[in-house]
Amino acid sequence: MEVGRRQKRIWIDTDDFIRMFDWAITPTGIGRVQMELVPRLAQAFPDRVSLCRIGRAGQPVTAVRLDEIDRLVRGNEFCLTNGRERRSLVRLVQTGRFAARYAEAFAAALTGNRAAREFANKVRPGDVIVNFGASWEHPDFDREILKLKASHGVRFALLVHDILPVTHPQFVSPDHIPNFKRWLEGMSRSWDLVMTPSHASANALTGYLKEQGLPVPPIHPIPFGAGFRPSVQRTAPRRQIEEPYVLYVSTIEVRKNHMLLARVWKRLIAKHGAGNVPTLAFAGKLGWEIDDLRAEMAETAHLGGKIRILEYLSDAEIRMAYDDCLFTAFPSLCEGWGLPVSESLAHGKFCVASNATSIPEAGGRFVDYFNPGDEDHAFELIERAIFDTAYRKNRENEIIQNYARTTWMQTAEAVAAMLTCAERVAAQ
């Protein structure tokens, strides 16, 4: 860097991430990425990375301290590790968060909003604002970005996790689709650089923008990490299942295709007997459009107890679930990446997964794949993984010996390098 030349600051917008803790008990994939990536960027590049919140309803942009984010993350894990009655404790914590947020807003108004002044004093032309989350939840996000670009001369970078609401609308809530389309159109007028977690997502976004006659920005896939931050728990996590089990980590919704696994397990029990078939563990919160799965579970008493649903696990408990399982399954119909696949491999666990969209990028040669609509092939692969112990162990050994896990710090470094390169290009 030239002497006397100021390196441009990276401002990470954390508004949707902070608001996630008002309603989320455990984060979804997008929240998980932010929980791992944002603190690492801020810690690795303290002289260059700052946090902010882009205001709503005319509110100013405010600076955010890293310890505010750390407090939310640690508080969320704390409330998941205190006893069995997690729902009531979590609701109490969320009520407290609502009250604290409104108290902070009131205090900020009385003091002239110190955090807003801090942002206004630090931001400079050429700085970049980046959002890693679900900015479509902000009702005027595109207009706020355009205002910041006009008033401060900043640039804008966005991580687009996927565009499934427009490429696979049948698996998305119909109420969300029009808003997502408006958001994409608004982003196309605002962004200077786009990152994606996979080449599949990059190609899907490029194709959609061209189809809609919208300009295509520079789009760069970045390597997504796998693994969890160190736990704040002082006691060992509680083991959720004692018997042998196969693990599926995911929100339980129609897109994730849990029903296929339920049908496969029904066939396995019929062929081999319940006593010879491991338990199937669904680790995730209940979500959208799963009436058929709920009905099947009710009618069969969770296949006689052979299917277990584990909601609201802490990070430490999820780590233990990966470590203790026989192997994992991931039959999702479409993804922007496929984080549980790479998490499984990071734990040295074999995975049987769908070959849809970006999932083969997450698993590479270390995963056995099936078409998510082909129940017979899924049955064959899962049956082999269960009963051919030598085959499963050979696949595990291959993972342990040859799989190179990307860390979240490497993801942070890749993001910083990409934004630095874009800064140099913009300066030319």
Q: What is the mean pLDDT of the chain?
A: 89
The reported pLDDT for the residue numbered 119 is 95
Q: With H, G, I as helix, E, B as strand and everything else as coil, classify residue 257.
A: coil
* CATH architecture of the region 10-225+408-427: 3-Layer(aba) Sandwich (3.40)
Q: Which of the two residues, 293 and 21, has the higher pLDDT score?
A: 293
CB within 8 Å of 130: residues ≥ 6 apart: 10, 11, 12, 13, 156, 157, 158, 159, 415, 419
- Residue 272 has what pLDDT? 98
Confidence of residue 20 (pLDDT cuts 50, 70, 90): confident
Place of tokens 């390196």: 7
- pLDDT given at position 401: 98
Angle at 215 between CA 210 and CA 217, to 5 degrees: 105
pLDDT number for residue 377: 98
pLDDT at 281 over 60: yes
Answer yes or no: same fold for 10-225+408-427 and 245-402: yes
Which has the closest alpha carbon to 146: 159, 155, 137, 134? 155
Tell me: the pLDDT tens digits for 371-414? 999 999 999 999 999 999 999 999 999 999 999 999 999 999 99
Whole-angstrom Cα distance, residue 115 to residue 62?
5
Among the listed residues 319, 311, 341, 179, the one whose alpha carbon sits nearest the alpha carbon of residue 251: 311
Every domain of the chain and the residues it spans: 10-225+408-427, 245-402
Q: What percent of the chain has pLDDT over 90?
A: 74
- Give the residue carrying structure tokens 């290009």: 425
User: Is CATH 1.10.10.10 the right assignment for the domain spanning 245-402?
Assistant: no
pTM: 0.91
Place of tokens 């301290």: 65
Please give the pLDDT value at position 3.
41
Contacts of 417 (CB under 8 A, 6+ apart): none
Please state the rounded mean pLDDT for residues 71-85: 59
* All residues at 6 or more sequence positions from 406 whose CB lies less than 8 Å from its CB, including other chains: 223, 224, 225, 226, 342
Q: Is the pLDDT of residue 417 over 80?
A: yes
**Which among 391, 385, 384, 395 is positioned nearest to 348, based on CA atoms?**
395
- Asked if pLDDT for residue 103 goes beyond 90, the answer is no
